Structure 1
Amino acid sequence: MTDRAFWEAKYKNNETGWDRGDFSPALTKWLETLEPCRILVPGCGRGHEVIELARRGFDITAVDIATPAIDHMQAMLEKEKLTATLIHGDLFEIELPPFDAIYEQTCLCAIQPSQWKEYEAWLYNHLKPGGQLLALFMQTGAEGGPPFHCDLSEMKPLFDESRWQWPESAGDAVVHPSGRHELAHLLKRKL
């Protein structure tokens, strides 16, 4: 995650298989009940979700380490006359006040599993008590990465029930154009 040259090369070489070209269908479903609020989008990529959230009146902060991602998103925001706070940098090196919601799509699966615990703590600390984590857990069924397989047998202990309220449902499968799928779960930060 924190290797800027690695991610910028992915954009330069058009190796952006995580990019759907549009916002995720999971976001459409979540927007049926999620009211405009302060929302954080870590590892936002080209920002399709950021653009849709801005269209709907959310106060968005988006973070990405790759210059091409931030540049693309800035151009799209300007084209549509929308606003969002864009931060170009390593999310582990920035501090922000807590948000009402966090949209987590392809950031966790891009981070080395050895950093997952640190990332979970970062998410927890950047979400207000009772805040919502809109999480899409990438299912690759393969070893290695990125993207790394985010098996629920690892995600549930990582997002421990002492800190996170998991939904009762099994999560919706969201098909990805890459042939993989994600499991959509709306978690809430406990007090």
Structure 2
Amino acid sequence: MTHTFDKDYWQHHWDDRTSHTVAANPYLVEETAGSTPGSVLDAGCGTGAEAIWLAERGWQVTGADISATALDAAAKQAESARVDATWIEADLTTWNPTERWDLVMTHYAHPSIPQLDFYRHIAQWVAPGGSLLIVGHLHHGAQHHSHDGEPPHEATVTVKDITALFDASSWRIDTALERSRTVGGIGVHSKTLRDAVVRATRLI
């Protein structure tokens, strides 16, 4: 099945998920350990778990998403956490902000354009000396078939393909990992996520 990942898809996706409390992605925790807080854009922020986690630690946070439903939930959760954040409704595939951020991050965002084109697009928003953190669903090759609860083929990537986006004269690859983690509870209520994790720093 082919997914369009357009505005209607994401509005429907978040309709029955905004009441769920989700912890910040553990890769974000690892990759920002010891970092000096600065400005951050969460591209495809959903209900804001990662953005709020960083705001609680002194980062100046902007969260952008195509879904107004998700952003409304994010704003309410930020208010409950007593942190400040800016929430922007935008189609990130066409959005061209003039601002640049010290950290641009995206966690499992699936756009209506090819996944790698999306990463290339949001990389433009990283300030010199800043970093891009990508957490995506790992592609397992042509022989892998999606099952219920697994991401569709067009939403998956490989670490090799992500790192190939970055010219060595302009970027330094700091992290390039394939990881697996279990989420969602115990036994039949859990599932294994197979992740591609890449962090790159803009040199110029």
TM range (shorter): 0.7 to 0.9
Which residue identity does 1:26 align to in structure 2?
Y
* TM-score normalised according to structure 1 size: 0.83
Aligned partner letter, 1:28? V
What is the CA-CA distance between 1:72 and the residue it aligns to?
0.7
- Identity fraction in percent: 23
Alpha-carbon deviation of 1:134?
A: 1.8
Instruction: Describe how 1:1-191 pairs up with structure 2 within 5 A.
Output: 3-12=6-15, 14=17, 21-91=22-92, 92-107=94-109, 110-112=110-112, 114=114, 116-117=116-117, 119-141=118-140, 142=144, 145=152, 148-167=155-174, 170-171=176-177, 173=179, 175=181, 177=183, 178-191=191-204
Q: Is the 8 A contact 1:102 1:134 kept in 2?
A: yes
CA RMSD between the two structures = 2.6
Cα shift at 1:94: 4.0
Question: Aligned-pair distance for 1:146?
Answer: 6.7
Q: Is the 8 A contact 1:2 1:65 kept in 2?
A: no
Q: Tell me the SS of whatever aligns to 2:83.
A: coil
SS at 2:69's partner residue?
helix
What amino acid sits opposite 2:162 in the alignment? M
Deviations 1:3-41 (A, max 9, x none): 111111112255x9xx88211111221232211100110
- 3-state SS in 1 of match to 2:28: helix
Residues 185/83 of structure 1: CA separation in 2 closer, same or farther (3 Å cut): same
Runs of 4+ in 1 over 4 A off after TM superposition: none
- Relative to structure 1, the CA distance from residue 170 to residue 154 in structure 2 (aligned partners, 3 Å threshold; closer, same or farther) is closer
Higher share in strand:
2
Count of residue correspondences: 184
User: 2:115, 2:154 within 8 Å by CA — same for their partners in 1?
Assistant: no
Q: CA deviation at 1:45?
A: 0.7
Residues 10 and 146 of structure 1: is their aligned pair in 2 closer, same or farther, counting only changes over 3 Å? farther
- Residues 163, 120 of structure 1: alpha-carbon distance in 2 compared, 3 angstrom cutoff: farther
In the alignment, structure 2 segments of 5+ residues that lack a partner are: 146-150, 184-190
Q: Distance in 1 between matches of 2:198 and 2:8?
A: 31
How many angstroms apart in 2 are the aligned matches of 1:115 and 1:184? 14
Structure with more of its chain in helix, by fraction? 1
Deviations 1:103-136 (A, max 9, x none): 22112xx12563632x234323211112111222
What SS does the corresponding residue of 1:93 show, helix, strand or coil? coil
Distance apart, 1:66 and its partner CA: 0.8
Task: Describe the superposition over 1:133-187 as per-residue Cα deviations: whole angstroms up to 9, x where unpaired.
Answer: 12223215346727711112321222343442113x6526252524122232321
TM-score (structure 2 length as normaliser): 0.78
Amino acid at match of 1:35: T
